[in-house]
Amino acid sequence: MAITRRSAVFLWIAAAAGAALHVCAALGTPVGAASDDALHLLLARNLLSGGFALPDAAGVPATQPLPGFALLMALPVRLLSPHWALLRGAALLATLALAVWSFRLCRRLSGEAAGWAAVLLVAANPVLAAWAGVALPDIPFAAASAGAFLLLARDEPPLPGLIAVAALAAVLRPQGAVLAAALAAGVGFRGGPRRAAAVLAGALAPLSLWLLRGHLLTGSATSYLDDWRRLQALGDTSLPFRAATLAAGLGRGFFGELSPLAALLGLALAAAAAVSGALRLWRTRSPGARAVVLSAAVYGTGLAALHAGWRAWDSRYVLPFLAPALPLWAAAFAGLYERKRETALAVLLLAAAPGLWDAANAAAAGVQSPRAELYPAAAAWIRANVPAGGAVISTEPFLFALTTGRRAYYPPAAATRELWIAALRSSGVRCVVVHRQAAPPALVAPEARTPLTDFDDWAVPSPPLTLGEADDAEDLLLLRLE
């Protein structure tokens, strides 16, 4: 499927336009746009000091999140702190890497037109556009996964490189353990069980050491397990409900904010295309193509089982599914492109259109309302009015710890307001941040519900708390504790 010179120029211009959409969308995602991006950056900064602890006075060793993203971000944090907005470039580079490696993977398996189809689907993915520039490990993990599949597809997969990429993925996101098993299955198909065991053991070794560290320091290998157990007690636990939640999340994650019926229909058609592409690649009898198909099947199935068990859904959870899906979709496109070029292009554009619309809206919002920081006025007031040794209470402590340089804590528990105030004083708290229209967290641990309810009742401008600043633009109250 050769691409003419004229078509190649057009495709490069289209790719540049897609990249521009993501850059513009990133203008509207300041640090703090996600619930825990500031936490990752604080841990990256702490890693430079030889630790990996939660950013509070207790210095409690962190077992969640995994350390891979903090390791990747340590040098950028060192170079760019405190200009946090510049760190959006790291996520954008990860998206670029995902597009480039997906292009190379799909071109190797199915031809150049298939490679460009993969680039379009990456550029049009609504989740990548919505999270453009956000300092979280999800996009780097998706890029690493695509890179691993690219290595697996080679005529002679370089085991050291494959193990290194899989090991990095395993300490970026929990789904990395599933990826390691899937890659081991593909390597085993090509080279036998001994090579598969080497890949699996090498890929999981750093993660195993990390979990051992967590167990020795805190008695818990990872707090992800605590969250897993907590989620099992919430809401509907039936398999149909879990499957429907997963299917709806995937449909909207691939195709944008469609109606539930349209999203499910799109997902069904995407699944059919993946099966068609898998069969086409398998029939090529290429060892690399067959290894990718097998690994993609194992990985996709494992991801579906993992997220059905997790029982909570966030839009960014769709990103790990891109690496196994893109080569199969691109192969299906290539098969149709060889027979009916116009039809194949029409189907591809139809599939990408809803996501492109969402990406264009995200880009327009970023251009119209660019933000370098989520609460700049509040952070400036805290820096000016809270001494360097003082602390802040907030329901977003990691964000304020990052942007103000002050210690920050979640609201503590107490039996009465008087005891609560006493706890604040003992921690050196000088400011309490109140979100006047705060949305309730999606997942609140039972032990955290009472403190948050009390916080709503007690964090009011009543002595000894006095009003320090009322910021209507940021919808915050800053209460001073003398």
Q: Check residues 473 and 207 and name the one with the higher pLDDT.
A: 207
Residues 266 and 382 in one domain: no
Residues 98 and 234 in one domain: yes
Task: Answer whether residue 379 shows pLDDT above 50.
Answer: yes
**Number of compact structural domains in the chain:** 2
- Least confident window among 25-39, 44-58, 169-183, 222-236: 222-236
**pLDDT tens, position by position, 394-442:** 989 999 999 999 999 888 888 899 999 999 999 899 999 998 765 444 4
Residue 465 pairs with which residues in a beta bridge? 481
Enter the pTM of the model: 0.92
Residues 362 and 389 in one domain: no
Q: Give mean pLDDT, residues 153-157.
A: 93
Report the range out of 216-220, 304-308, 341-345 with the highest average pLDDT: 341-345
Q: Check residues 177 and 259 and name the one with the higher pLDDT.
A: 177
Report the pLDDT value the prediction gives residue 234, as an integer from 0 to 100.
Answer: 64
Task: Answer whether residue 194 shows pLDDT above 50.
Answer: yes
| 261 and 164 Cβ atoms separated by less than 8 Å | no
Boundary-marking domain end, from 342, 368, 394:
368
pLDDT-derived band at 233 (thresholds 50, 70, 90) equals: low
Residues 258 and 290 in one domain: yes
The domain in which residue 458 lies consists of: 376-481
Report the pLDDT value the prediction gives residue 219, as an integer from 0 to 100.
Answer: 76
Task: Answer whether residue 448 shows pLDDT above 70.
Answer: no
Residues 230 and 109 in one domain: yes
Boundary-marking domain end, from 323, 340, 368:
368
Boundary-marking domain end, from 308, 341, 368:
368
Residues 80 and 213 in one domain: yes
- Least confident window among 2-16, 104-118, 195-209: 2-16
Report the pLDDT value the prediction gives residue 202, as an integer from 0 to 100.
Answer: 97
Residues 272 and 406 in one domain: no
Residues 238 and 382 in one domain: no
pLDDT-derived band at 235 (thresholds 50, 70, 90) equals: low
Task: Answer whether residue 443 shows pLDDT above 50.
Answer: no
In the structure encoding, which two tokens stand for residue 61, read together? 């060793």
**pLDDT tens, position by position, 39-93:** 999 999 988 888 887 766 456 777 788 999 999 999 999 999 888 889 999 999 9
Residues 359 and 386 in one domain: no
pLDDT-derived band at 232 (thresholds 50, 70, 90) equals: low
Task: Answer whether residue 216 shows pLDDT above 90.
Answer: no
Q: Give mean pLDDT, residues 206-215.
A: 91
Q: Give mean pLDDT, residues 449-454.
A: 59
Task: Answer whether residue 99 shows pLDDT above 80.
Answer: yes
Three-state DSSP string of the chain: CCCCHHHHHHHHHHHHHHHHHHHHHHCCCCECCCCCHHHHHHHHHHHHCCCCECCCCCCCECCCCCCHHHHHHHHHHHHHCCCHHHHHHHHHHHHHHHHHHHHHHHHHHHCHHHHHHHHHHHHCCHHHHHCCCCCCCHHHHHHHHHHHHHHHCCCCCCHHHHHHHHHHHHCCCCCHHHHHHHHHHHHHHHHCHHHHHHHHHHHHHHHHHHHHHHHHHHCCCCCHHHHHHHHHCCCCCCHHHHHHHHHHHHHHHHHCCCCHHHHHHHHHHHHHHHHHHHHHHHHCCCHHHHHHHHHHHHHHHHHHHHHHHHCCCCHHHHHHHHHHHHHHHHHHHHHHHHHCHHHHHHHHHHHHHHHHHHHHHHHHHHHHCCCCECCHHHHHHHHHHCCCCCEEECCCHHHHHHHHCCEEECCCCCCCHHHHHHHHHHCCEEEEEEECCCCCCCCCCHHHHHHHHHHHHHCCCCCCEEEEEEECCCCEEEEEEC
Residues 314 and 183 in one domain: yes
DSSP string, 313-339: --GGGGGGGHHHHHHHHHHHHHHHHHH
Report the pLDDT value the prediction gives residue 55, as an integer from 0 to 100.
Answer: 61
Long-range contacts, stretch 5-12, CB < 8 angstroms, 24+ apart? 11/116, 11/119
Residues 298 and 351 in one domain: yes
Mean pLDDT of the chain: 89
Report the pLDDT value the prediction gives residue 480, as an integer from 0 to 100.
Answer: 94
Task: Answer whether residue 207 shows pLDDT above 90.
Answer: yes
Report the pLDDT value the prediction gives residue 457, as an integer from 0 to 100.
Answer: 83
Report the range out of 74-83, 140-149, 369-378 with the highest average pLDDT: 140-149
Q: Give mean pLDDT, residues 229-241.
A: 69
Q: Give mean pLDDT, residues 185-209.
A: 96
Q: Give mean pLDDT, residues 142-152.
A: 98
Report the pLDDT value the prediction gives residue 236, as an integer from 0 to 100.
Answer: 61
Report the pLDDT value the prediction gives residue 444, as an integer from 0 to 100.
Answer: 45
Residues 293 and 427 in one domain: no
Report the pLDDT value the prediction gives residue 447, as an integer from 0 to 100.
Answer: 46
